[in-house]
Structure 1
Amino acid sequence: MVKYVPLILSFMLLFGCSANQDKKEEITQAKAANQSEIRENEANKTDYSKTEYSGNPQVTDDSSLQKVGDSFWDEKGKLILEDIKEVNKTYNIGPMELTILDIKVLHYLPAYNLIDFFHGFTHEAEEFDFVRVQMKIKNTTNEEVYFAPIALLETSSGEKMTWENDFYLEELNGMYSGNEEKIGNMGFPLNNHVHGQEDKAKSNHLEWIKLMTSEVLNKEHKEIAGKKIIKIRF
């Protein structure tokens, strides 16, 4: 029996080495699979973030406001929903796809530290109404283009505002690289509106808004598609 001991020990050592090698290979494969999954998740996260709206630094989030009278407040102030129009319609302006998601009329009481910012857009910065348009914009070509989804906004109450009156400042106007897609908001103060006004002739209800896009320009800033006017009724 003694003479078989070295043989048995050799077999055990060989088996042990083989088992350890198999274990190492399993660990290596598991790490590789895990790294692959991490890279895939990161890639998906990057792609997703291009079209996921992440909020605005100076305006309270209105996503929870779905019924007239709903209100919400956070560290940026308080919002009250006065009107809402679900649109979800896509318009084509040359190579650009503009999808209007929804439009809201909101009353805003910004936080004290934001009042100076809003004084650059309205004299009633401590409390004012505004119209907010949420949209997605996509360049369907591989070429760089220039486009403004709302160059001019007009309301049934007689107000006319340009892109310069937009206080969301989410860089939806300007250059779109090939196949780039953006989602965001533009917001315009309604200086003709008085919150709580009982006179129906001066009520906060809008019958319609009219949006005019810019032309679409190529990278040489030559026009490749004309403006489009979009009228939306509440």
Structure 2
Amino acid sequence: MKVNEIGRWYKPWFFVHVRNMLRANRTVVEYLPLKDYFHRHSRSIFWELQDIVPFGNNILFRYLFGWLMPVKVSLLKITQVDAIKKLYEENHIIQDLLVPTSKMEHCLREIDDAVQVYPIWLCPFTLPNNPGMVHPKQSAEQMYVDIGIYGVPKRKFDAKPVTRRIENLVADCDGFQMLYADTYRTEAEFRQMFDHSLYDKMRVKYDCKSAFPEVYGKVNKNVRD
């Protein structure tokens, strides 16, 4: 039984390891420790680290400095000057989009046409019909897929119109945009995507309006600024 402790600092990044096996066009059976499996994308921050530290997967770098990875995102943020931050925003995209599996192929084709970023993260899941801001438009639970776009677009990239195009695509497909990333939706559009009925009721019930801002004000960059 071959056990691959992929979480070791000197090991190749997981996505590169998988890509190399696929390119070799051969069947491989190996076992990963459970902790390593759960954190299989942690060391390379999925595939983002290849843009931050291009030589990070070099075997010499891994052996000497791999124990330093991944770079803390909080450290990256506090060390960014405004010029670097602006350059990053204008040449990089990071989005997670939840769409019904029935709309996945259509969304992938449109995303490819808009940004052409690869690899793409695909993670299917069941979205239950529970109260709250995120639930299927239909009455029953439904299969959705998380489409993760992380990286530098290969096509000409103008952040706001391209992100708006992707946001509208997701909305048209009865999907949801995850809110850790930039959003350019208006408040009305935001409320159409996310069901605010229970949220508004709770804000009134517990007198939150004077104490806490609307969730839209937390996630929309223009409102925060």
- TM-score, with length taken from structure 2: 0.25
Q: Quick one: higher RCO (CA 8 Å, sep 6+), 1 or 2?
A: 2
* More strand per residue: 1
Tell me which structure has the larger Cα radius of gyration: 1
* More helix per residue: 2
